[in-house]
Amino acid sequence: MKVLVFGAGGNIGRAITAELLSRGHAVTAASRSGAQAEGPDLPVAVGDAADPGTVARLAQGHDAVVAAIGPKPGAPVPAGAFSGAAHGLIEGLRQAGVRRLLVLGGAGSLEVPGGQRVVDAPDFPDAWKPNALGQAEALEIYRTAGDLDWTYVSPAAIIQPGERTGTYRVGGDQLLADASGESRISIPDYAAGFVDELEKGDAIRRRITLAY
């Protein structure tokens, strides 16, 4: 499968790219800076996911597009960053005739018992809210794209470096927690589940979440 990955240079984007390559997929890495993402032989393209024309040009000839975009940890989130990318990706893929889109999502819009979103909890850190609310806004935009085969993949509440075990659970719009009440997953296992969904296509036009 030929896959275009926006945000391949980020922590999670690198893991997704590495997982794709390990399974024999042909990957093109795209970023606004054109920075090298994963290995010297990986094709790299310069492009902004918020620009439909650029998305259409880069997506031509690919079977799927991955959007793993997001700010670096601790960096401010520009207003409209996630919604702009959602609009750019949707319109660009329509122009390119590419239907399959997988999006690195956020956990803030997941629901806890009672229907409340994680981001709306009183103890949700203020510093994380712009990212969480921006991701939630983008999800609603993707939900309007009924002509694309999109999947929005939310991680657990805590996603961090760790081992690749290949073991995880798949949920829907509700936050997944383990027997001790923790919601977590390693970046490599999130990447494994992300690529599993790309290959299987079990969750077309809906959000899933991955956690232990």
pLDDT score at 39: 59
Tell me: the pLDDT tens digits for 140-193?
A: 999 999 999 999 999 999 999 999 999 999 999 999 999 999 999 999 999 999
Of the listed ranges 19-23, 68-72, 80-84, 157-161, the one predicted with least confidence: 68-72
What is the average pLDDT across 92-104?
Answer: 98
More confident of the two residues 125 and 38: 125
Percentage of residues in the chain having pLDDT higher than 90: 84
- At 32, is the pLDDT very low, low, confident or very high (cuts 50, 70, 90)? confident
- 145's CB contacts (< 8 A; 6+ apart) are 90, 101, 205
**Three-state DSSP state, 209:** strand
- At 95, is the pLDDT very low, low, confident or very high (cuts 50, 70, 90)? very high
User: Cβ(158)–Cβ(194) under 8 Å?
Assistant: no
Predicted TM-score (pTM) of this structure:
0.94
pLDDT score at 79: 73
Strands 169-171 and 206-211: antiparallel
What is the average pLDDT across 124-139?
Answer: 94
- The per-residue b/e assignment along 35-64, b for 16 or more CB within 10 angstroms, e otherwise, is eebbeeebebbebbbbbbebbbebbeebeb
Sign of CA dihedral 187, 193, 195, 198: negative
What is the average pLDDT across 14-20?
Answer: 96
**Calpha distance 85→69 (Å, rounded):** 8
